[in-house]
Structures are given as structure tokens and as C-alpha cells.
Amino acid sequence: MSEELYTEIGKRIRSIREDKLRATQEDIAKRLGISRPSVANFENGKQQMTVAQLMSFSNVLGVSPIDLLPLVESKTGSERLSRSLPSHFDPKLRAWVDTLQGR
């Protein structure tokens, strides 16, 4: 799931960057203080991001961090994203994700 998580976050970043901001990867890279290839890697899910990086992207894109996180669908409907994270994820990260989802 972790690769899928980063891929989905990247898709959301790209969509907001292109559709809402009409910005280039270079524009976003400059605002974040990182390289354009790093932005491309994040958008393609090839580079994992820290919570701090997720927050930086959300600030630059003008959205809530929760807008960058996919909601996991189950047979019974939406469930907490934290339950789909690999078991080795830090419990504090799970709690943070739940907080972002308003749980």
C-alpha cells in the first residue's frame, strides 16, 4: 500500500498544480526550495515524502493536507486511511493521518 499511497498523493499534487494553479513543476520547485526533478519524482510516486514535505506541498498548493491524502474505499464504504498503512508505520503517523481525516 505504501507505494500506492505515494502514487495517489503524487497524482493529487499534479492535478492541483496543473488544474488549479496552472503552475509548472519548476514554479512549484522554486516555491518549495527543491529541484524540479524532485517535484517530478513526488508527482510520479517515485519519492516518498515526509509529513513536513506533505505540509509544505499543501501550503504551496493552497490546500489542506487532507486534500492530498486519498480516502481508502472498502466494501462497506470509506474507512480510515491509517488502517491501510503498513503495520510498520509509526503509531504517531497513524494518529496524525486520523487527525487530518477528522477522526
- For 19-58, what is each residue's pLDDT tens digit? 999 999 999 999 999 999 999 999 999 999 999 999 999 9
The whole-angstrom separation of Cα 66 and Cα 98 is 10
- Which 3 state secondary structure label does DSSP give 29? helix
Residue 46 lies in a domain: yes
Residue 50 belongs to domain spanning: 2-63
Beta bridge partners of 77: 74
Q: What is the mean pLDDT of residues 85-98?
A: 72
The gap from C-alpha 61 to its chain's centroid, in whole angstroms, comes to: 11
What is the reported pLDDT for 84? 64
Residue 44 lies in a domain: yes
Residue 50 lies in a domain: yes
Residue count of the chain, please give it. 103
User: In CATH, what number is assigned to the domain containing residue 11?
Assistant: 1.10.260.40
- Count: domains in the chain: 1
Residue 92 lies in a domain: no
What is the reported pLDDT for 74? 42
Q: What is the mean pLDDT of residues 68-79?
A: 58
Residue 25 lies in a domain: yes
What is the reported pLDDT for 25? 98
Residue 28 lies in a domain: yes
pTM of the model: 0.71
